[in-house]
Amino acid sequence: MKSPYIDLPDSSFWKLAVPNKIDLLENIYKQKFSILNKKIATAGDCFAQEIHRALKKSGCLVIDNEPSPNTIAIRGEIENSFGYGLYSARHGNIYSARQLLQLAKEAFGISTPSPEDYIWEKDNRFYDALRPSVEPNGLTSKEEVIMQRQDHIKRFRMVLESCDIFIFTMGLTESWIGIKNGLVYPTAPGVIAGTYNPDLYQFYNFKFMEIYNDFLEFRKIVKLYNPSVKFLLTISPVPLTATASGKHVLAATVYSKSIVRAVAGQLYDEYDDIDYFPSYEILTTPFLGAFMFMENKRTVTKKGVAMTMEIFIREHTLASTSDVNNEEEVHGKTVCDEALLDAFAGGNK
C-alpha cells in the first residue's frame, strides 16, 4: 500500500510550501466564491480597516453607507478619527461576534437598548458607549447621541440588506458586558468615557461555542432580509494591548486568537456561504520575516499589510493595490479603541 502522503501537492509539505519570502507563498488561499462585481461590506476590529482600504484601492464595490458630511473639509486621518471611511457604516470597531449580533438585532428591531444603558458622560460631554470612538470629543447632549444612533442604525440595516459579501474580521474573545442589561461594549467604561462600576459592568471572556453560535445567529438574521448574502471571515493578527483576565498578556493573546481561529475554521468547514482568508496565519508566522510588525511587536507594518492583501487580490483577480515595497504609502489613520489601554500601563491614567 502506498503512503497516503505520496501524491499530495507541494502545498501540503512545509519545506516546499513555506518559503522565506511572502511573495513566493502560493496556494495558501483558494477562494470559495468570487467577490468580483459584488457589493462588499466590511466590519470588525481595527485590522479590518486595512482590508477595507485595500479592497477600495483595488476597485471593489465597497459599500460606504455612512460617509463623512461635507463639513469635514479635510479627508484622510481627520475623517477617520470620527469613524468615517473605516467601514461600510460608522459603527467603529466590532471586536466580538456578540457585539456584531447585538448591532444586527438593533438594526432589525429585534432589540432596542435603552439610552440610559448606552450613553456615557465625560467632562459634561456625551458619548455613544456602543461606538465611543466615533465622536472622540463627545457630543453636547444626550439627545444628540440618540439622534445620531438612530440614524446610524438605519444606515447599518441598509448595509446588511444590500451587500452581496459581508467581510468580518474577528478580533478578541475578551469583552466588557453590562451586568443588568447584557450589552457588550467595545471598551471598558473609564477608558474613553464613562465610569467603571463593578456592580454594573463585568469582564467576560467568550468561549468557543458562544462565538460560534453568535455568528450563526447573526448569519440567520441577515439572511432573513438578504437571502443571497455570503460571508468572508478573517482573524486580526494584532495582539491584545492589555488583558483583564489575570493571565500574562502574551498567553491571553494566544488563547484569544486560538479560539476565534478555531471558530472561523469550523464555520468555513460547515457552510458553503462562509469563506476564510488566512491573513492571520500569513502575518503572524515568524518564518516570513520580522518586517511584518513594527518595533512594538503589535502594529502591523504597511508593507506587511500590502503583501498579505496582494495574496487575496491575486486570488480574486482584482487590480493590484499598490507597490508592495512602498512602506511609506499613506493609507489613512487606523483607529483602535483597544490600543488606548496603553495609557494605563504602569498605573498611568
Of 52, 60, 136, 54, nearest to 86 by C-alpha is: 52
Alpha helices of the chain — where are they, by DSSP H? 14-17, 47-57, 77-81, 97-107, 115-118, 142-162, 208-225, 249-270, 279-284, 302-315
Non-local CB neighbours of 213 within 8 Å, separated by 6+ positions: none
pLDDT score recorded for residue 126: 96
pLDDT score recorded for residue 334: 64
Provide long-range contacts, Cβ within 8 A and 24+ apart, for 50-55: 50/300, 50/305, 50/309, 50/331, 50/334, 51/167, 51/169, 51/234, 51/279, 51/309, 52/86, 52/87, 52/88, 53/331, 53/332, 54/305, 54/306, 54/309, 54/312, 54/313, 54/321, 55/167, 55/318
pLDDT score recorded for residue 153: 97
Q: Are 208 and 263 in contact (CB under 8 A)?
A: yes
pLDDT in tens, 325-342: 444 343 455 655 554 444
Place of cell 438585532: 105
pLDDT in tens, 136-187: 889 999 999 999 999 999 999 999 999 999 999 999 999 999 999 999 999 9
The count of residues in the chain is 349
Of 231, 252, 230, 228, nearest to 240 by C-alpha is: 252
pLDDT score recorded for residue 26: 77
Query: How far apart (Å, rounded) are the C-alpha atoms in residues 250 and 297?
Result: 11
pLDDT score recorded for residue 219: 98
**Positive or negative torsion for Cα 170, 173, 179, 180:** positive
Dihedral of the CA atoms 12, 16, 19, 22 (nearest 10)? -50
Of 111, 116, 140, nearest to 126 by C-alpha is: 140
pLDDT score recorded for residue 325: 42
Positions of the chain with pLDDT under 50: 71-75, 323-331, 339-345, 349
Q: Are 234 and 277 in contact (CB under 8 A)?
A: yes
pLDDT above 70: percentage of residues in the chain = 85
Query: How far apart (Å, rounded) are the C-alpha atoms in residues 235 and 246?
Result: 23
Residue 294 phi, psi dihedral angles, 5° rounding: -75, 180
Query: What residue segments make up the domains of the chain, in order of their start?
Result: 22-342
Q: Which cell numbers in the block locate residue 141?
A: 447632549
Give DSSP secondary structure letters for 77-108. Answer: HHHHHTTTTSSSSS-----SHHHHHHHHHHHT
pLDDT score recorded for residue 278: 94
pLDDT score recorded for residue 289: 65
